[in-house]
Structure 1
Amino acid sequence: MDYYMVLLLILPFVWAFIRVVSSNLSSQTLPPGPHPFPIIGNILELGKLPHQAIAKLSKTYGPLMTLKLGSITTIVISSPNMAKEVLQKNDRAFSSRTVPNMAHVFDHHKVSIAWIPANSQWRNLRKACATQIFAPQRLDATEALRLAKVQELLDHVNQSCKSGAPIDIGRVVFTTSLNAISNTLFSIDLVQYDSNLSQEFRDLVCGVAKEAGRPNSADYFPALRLIDPQGVRKRTRIYFSKVFGIFDGIINQRLQLRASSKGFKESNDVLDSLLNLTEEDNSEISLLDIKHLLLDLFLAGIDTTSSTVEWAMVVLLQNPKKMAKARDELEEVLGKGGHVQESDISKFHYLQAIVKETFRLHPPGPFLIPHKA
């Protein structure tokens, strides 16, 4: 009995000694950084705006800095030259991603192009995106659609101005972005400007974005992942279920049309193109891959656009002189009452500067998706 008592007393000291020695050894090979607190590390130093906090810390500790976030050691790169070393010269070694706990819902991390490593599955999904969605001829073919959706936005704004109704910039831009993407993917408008469904869909997408960006203790302490103490994974499951329910309805309806109608004419949208890929011999893309790919496209393309436009308008309203200068450039390039074409974008030098400054001050995804070595 005495032997076990002595062993129990000694074990904590042995464990503490090992921790101290290992931390000292690792600190000799890691870049400099602020001294971490026991257990929590440097979490408290991140504050409510972690990207700004890290920018300030980098002025003290340099462009290559070590942070201890709970039990996770994180290396922060905060200069263009260091970023090129990692993302260009050593891109293969750093191509994997750190998967947050919320991405494990429905095993999304195993099929999502955002999270899976650069293996054959990732290359197949990337090829599908490059050829069926982002190919120059595809983008040129959908230019008229994008212009039509922008015109619908302008018409809605003009109508609201005439009636004296207030305009929720974030909401109307979200509706425009959502319908532009849904038409490209499915050839349908998912929402209308004055419908409750638009706000519901926005709440759904914004909910997923918030859970993805919310600091989660389960990401800093992997031992807590099964417990999900903050309920992040639970809420994400609800959001994913609703979005997948919408996708399942659209995909099943399209499959029924393709199977039952002899005279079915393909709409030549992204969904038809992806379904054609699944029907090829030895196809390596499944319906499950398509559903999760659609989720990635919706999350990446809708809320980021609407939040950026909303922030740009906020900053311009706070700077009337800048707003006037931007308006003058619009009239100079387009003339009064002129319509914007995508070919005109290169002529808006000041407007492009406004967009870049908005990204700098209010980035929609400050850390993007962290890389993992």
Structure 2
Amino acid sequence: MWVAVFILTLLTLWITRLLIRTRTHPPLPPGPSGLPVFGNLLSLSPELHSYFATLARTHGPILSLRLGGKFAVVISSPELAKEVLRDHDVTFANRDVPAAARAASYGGHDIAWNPYGPEWRLLRKVCVREMLCAATLDAVYGIRRRELRRIIRYIRSRVGSAVNLGEQMFLTTMNVVTEMLWGSGASADGEEERESRGREFRRVVAEITGQFAKPNISDFYPGLARWDLQGIEKKVKGCAERFDGIFEKVIEQRMKMGGIGEEREKDFLEVLLKMKDEYEEVEDDGQNKVSFSMTHLKALLMDMVVGGTDTTSNTLEFAMAEILNKPEVLRNVQEELDTVVGKESILEEHHIHKLPYLQSVMKETLRLHPVLPLLVPHCPSEFCVIGGYTIPKGTRVFINVWAIHRDPSIWANPLEFDPERFLNCKFDFSGNDFSYLPFGSGRRSCAGIAMAERMVLFSLASILHSFDWKLPEGEKLDLEEKFGIVLSKRVPLTLIPKPRLSNPSLYE
């Protein structure tokens, strides 16, 4: 008898609490109905960005999903994105770290997945002030130029043959990144060795980012995470260990070398090693001190290698595909290049600011094909109200940038590739206008915007200035996307180059 009374009392208290909460808090966002235990998991599409956009057309610009034991919210309008990323920036500055990301980022000690706090602020400061500021990027221009000249020479040697453009752009970007980080020594390698290494690096990076995008039981049912039922964490750890071995080797070599010396250029690893265990982030009250450790150092190297390569090469691949799909765009780009640089000269990075149409091409590419279509998911540190709806603490919040960038109420002819929409307009990459957020906004916006902009524009200008391009005989241009935490082309872009500069010596 007393057991029944006890159960009835608990049930009454639970119902009372639910009714009080319903009266005191706004409702949860609307969303599709789900199944017991599974919620909406079984109805998820692999192409999450377009699937979420389809749901938004039915349920509105803020919607909720039950993903196993997790609650998720999808934001698909500039107004609501502003509430999350600006009005409640601090509340949403945290992460709900997937198991795959934790395995790849030294336990989440990197800048992408670290929770908001002293440790994250320290890493952000290191990146923005020491590694990716304008002065530092200007200082390593020689590396970008050297690698771009190398790829131009290589493409010249492949005239008349098909070139996998995404693969070559990845190799170039990887060489730039590793040379900036620690000096890759790539100049001593032959082209075959460089190609082989680039393909292997690209495979490992693609494996890591690909695992991020897979629905993982460990994320939806945290109680099952210890068993890694799908083996995702094991696979990512294997990939991460390969990079960690490279990091250990170059760190050991650098520490043996001692000081910089006059004969060697300063690189990022030199800066990071000097800062290790000397650089601290201290709160205003003198508490919460955090030092820059070897784990932080290697986590930042991982961020640069994984986050700074695929993103750039995929953007370049989409840009070239869209340009070739619109002959008038190609004509406008090359006419601008010929006017500013000419066919009798080599393009240099200082020409870029004189190429507004080319800059518009990059902006339009990132509108149609944003690098991170759902950004990196945010996670509120406390209960919050967005758009009149309750967002519980710990919710995984997706900002569907891909959908915002294709919203017909914001953009005229949103599915049309039209760079001219960005000529003489206010849009930039700062995230201040929430209709255009290719790099996010607020505290957790991308720290590498300046580097990405320089690398994409310089690379795109170089290959379009130096060559004409066409598809192999019988092939059709495919613009289909493949969803991942990093958006990619489903079908690799393979093109045949033809020299367009007046003097063959310009390719040397």
Q: TM-score range by the shorter chain?
A: 0.7 to 0.9
The residue aligned with 2:101 is 103
The residue aligned with 1:306 is 313
Aligned counterparts of 2:142 and 2:202: Cα–Cα separation in 1:
25
The residue aligned with 1:285 is 292
Q: Confirm or deny: 8 A CA contact 1:206 1:303 kept in the other structure.
A: yes
Aligned counterparts of 2:66 and 2:150: Cα–Cα separation in 1:
49
Pair 136,321 (structure 1): closer, same or farther in 2 beyond 3 Å = closer
The residue aligned with 2:372 is 365
Aligned counterparts of 1:183 and 1:332: Cα–Cα separation in 2:
32
Q: Secondary structure at the match of 2:65?
A: strand
Give the deviation of 1:209 after TM superposition.
1.2
Q: Secondary structure at the match of 1:371?
A: coil
Q: Confirm or deny: 8 A CA contact 1:153 1:172 kept in the other structure.
A: yes
1:210 equivalent to 2:217? Answer no
The residue aligned with 1:166 is 162
The residue aligned with 2:175 is 179
Give the deviation of 1:222 after TM superposition.
1.9
Q: Confirm or deny: 8 A CA contact 1:216 1:230 kept in the other structure.
A: yes
Aligned counterparts of 2:352 and 2:47: Cα–Cα separation in 1:
32
The residue aligned with 1:324 is 331
Q: Which amino acid aligns with 2:134?
A: P
Q: Confirm or deny: 8 A CA contact 1:175 1:193 kept in the other structure.
A: no
Pair 253,109 (structure 1): closer, same or farther in 2 beyond 3 Å = same
The residue aligned with 2:87 is 89
Q: Confirm or deny: 8 A CA contact 1:46 1:53 kept in the other structure.
A: yes
The residue aligned with 2:28 is 30
Q: Deviations over 1:288-338 (max 9, x none)?
A: 211111001111100111111112222333333433333233223322243
The residue aligned with 2:411 is none
Give the deviation of 1:45 after TM superposition.
4.4
Give the deviation of 1:129 after TM superposition.
1.2
Q: Where in structure 1 are there 5+ consecutive unaligned residues? A: none
Q: Secondary structure at the match of 2:360?
A: helix
Aligned counterparts of 2:51 and 2:166: Cα–Cα separation in 1:
27
The residue aligned with 1:149 is 147
Residue-pair matches, total: 356
Pair 45,69 (structure 1): closer, same or farther in 2 beyond 3 Å = same
The residue aligned with 2:268 is 270
Q: Deviations over 1:185-217 (max 9, x none)?
A: 112245764322221111111111111122223
Structure (1/2) with the larger helix percentage: 1
Q: Secondary structure at the match of 1:149?
A: helix
Pair 224,359 (structure 1): closer, same or farther in 2 beyond 3 Å = farther
Moved more, 105-114 or 50-59: 105-114
Q: Secondary structure at the match of 1:225?
A: helix
Give the deviation of 1:42 after TM superposition.
2.6
Higher relative contact order (CA 8 A, sep 6+): 2
Q: Confirm or deny: 8 A CA contact 2:105 2:299 kept in the other structure.
A: no
Query: 5 Å matches for 1:101-250?
Result: 101-105=99-103, 108-161=106-159, 164-190=160-186, 193-195=191-193, 196-250=196-250
Q: Confirm or deny: 8 A CA contact 2:111 2:300 kept in the other structure.
A: yes
Aligned counterparts of 1:295 and 1:67: Cα–Cα separation in 2:
32
What RMSD, in angstroms, separates the aligned Cα atoms of the two structures?
2.9
Pair 218,334 (structure 1): closer, same or farther in 2 beyond 3 Å = same
Aligned counterparts of 1:215 and 1:345: Cα–Cα separation in 2:
41
Aligned counterparts of 1:193 and 1:87: Cα–Cα separation in 2:
45
The residue aligned with 2:484 is none
The residue aligned with 1:41 is 39
Q: Confirm or deny: 8 A CA contact 1:258 1:264 kept in the other structure.
A: no
Aligned counterparts of 2:355 and 2:47: Cα–Cα separation in 1:
31
Pair 81,45 (structure 1): closer, same or farther in 2 beyond 3 Å = same
Aligned counterparts of 1:309 and 1:247: Cα–Cα separation in 2:
27
Q: Confirm or deny: 8 A CA contact 2:174 2:309 kept in the other structure.
A: yes
Q: Secondary structure at the match of 1:67?
A: strand
Q: Secondary structure at the match of 1:226?
A: helix
Aligned counterparts of 1:192 and 1:70: Cα–Cα separation in 2:
51
Q: Which amino acid aligns with 1:81?
A: E
Aligned counterparts of 1:65 and 1:113: Cα–Cα separation in 2:
28
Aligned counterparts of 2:138 and 2:61: Cα–Cα separation in 1:
40
Give the deviation of 1:62 after TM superposition.
2.2
Pair 50,337 (structure 1): closer, same or farther in 2 beyond 3 Å = farther
Aligned counterparts of 2:246 and 2:77: Cα–Cα separation in 1:
42
Moved more, 337-346 or 120-129: 337-346
Aligned counterparts of 1:332 and 1:44: Cα–Cα separation in 2:
55
Aligned counterparts of 2:55 and 2:353: Cα–Cα separation in 1:
36
Alignment identity in percent? Answer: 34
Aligned counterparts of 1:343 and 1:362: Cα–Cα separation in 2:
27
Aligned counterparts of 1:281 and 1:229: Cα–Cα separation in 2:
40
Q: Deviations over 1:81-136 (max 9, x none)?
A: 21111111211111101100112327723411211112221122112112221122
Query: 5 Å matches for 1:52-63?
Result: 52-63=50-61
Pick from 316, 320, 338 the counterpart of residue 345 of structure 2. 338
1:352 equivalent to 2:359? Answer yes
The residue aligned with 2:71 is 73
Aligned counterparts of 2:38 and 2:349: Cα–Cα separation in 1:
49
Give the deviation of 1:339 after TM superposition.
2.8
Pair 349,340 (structure 1): closer, same or farther in 2 beyond 3 Å = same
Q: Confirm or deny: 8 A CA contact 1:94 1:371 kept in the other structure.
A: yes
Q: Confirm or deny: 8 A CA contact 1:266 1:272 kept in the other structure.
A: no
Give the deviation of 1:265 after TM superposition.
6.2
Q: Secondary structure at the match of 2:158?
A: helix
Q: Secondary structure at the match of 2:74?
A: strand
